C-alpha cells in the first residue's frame, strides 16, 4: 500500500503529524516559510507571536503535512526532526551567548565598583 502524501488535500493526516511540533514552536515564521505554512508569518506581529508559537506547536505538523508534498511519513518525520534539532540548537546557542554576556557584565561591574 502506498503512503498518503501531503500533496493530496483530502489525505488523512497521519498520527506523526498530529504530535506536538517543536520545530514549529521554536522556529515559528522561519519554519512556516520552509513548510509552506504561511499563516506562521503572523508570528512576526507583536503579542500575536507568543500565541502563534503555541498554535504552531499544536497544529503545525498537520498544516505542514497538508501544505507540502512529502515522499511519505518517514520523510515527513525526518524533515520535522531536523527542524526540531535546528530549533533546539539555536535556542542553546542563544542561551549560551546570553550567559556569556551576563557573566561579562557581572565581572565588569564588580571591577568598576570595587
pLDDT digits (tens, 9 = 90+) for 42-66: 999 999 999 999 999 999 999 999 9
Alpha carbons 17 and 10: distance in angstroms, whole number: 15
Q: Which DSSP category does 40 fall into?
A: G
pTM for the model stands at 0.83
pLDDT category at 11 given cuts 50, 70, 90 is low
Is the per-residue pLDDT at 86 higher than 80? Answer: yes
**Average pLDDT of the chain to the nearest whole number:** 91
The SS3 assignment for 62 reads helix
Q: What is the pLDDT of residue 8?
A: 52
The SS3 assignment for 14 reads coil
| Span 76-102, average pLDDT | 98
Alpha carbons 6 and 30: distance in angstroms, whole number: 20
Amino acid at each position: 500500500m502506498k503512503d498518503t502524501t501531503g500533496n493530496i488535500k483530502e489525505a488523512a493526516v497521519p498520527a506523526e503529524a498530529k504530535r506536538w511540533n517543536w520545530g514549529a514552536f521554536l522556529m515559528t515564521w522561519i519554519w512556516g516559510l520552509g513548510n509552506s505554512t504561511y499563516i506562521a508569518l503572523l508570528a512576526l506581529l507583536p503579542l500575536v507571536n507568543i500565541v502563534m508559537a503555541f498554535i504552531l506547536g499544536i497544529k503545525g505538523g498537520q498544516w505542514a503535512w497538508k501544505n507540502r508534498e512529502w515522499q511519505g511519513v518517514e520523510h515527513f518525520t525526518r524533515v520535522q526532526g531536523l527542524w526540531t534539532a535546528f530549533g533546539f540548537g539555536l535556542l542553546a546557542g542563544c542561551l549560551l551567548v546570553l550567559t556569556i554576556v551576563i557573566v561579562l557584565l557581572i565581572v565588569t561591574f564588580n571591577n568598576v565598583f570595587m
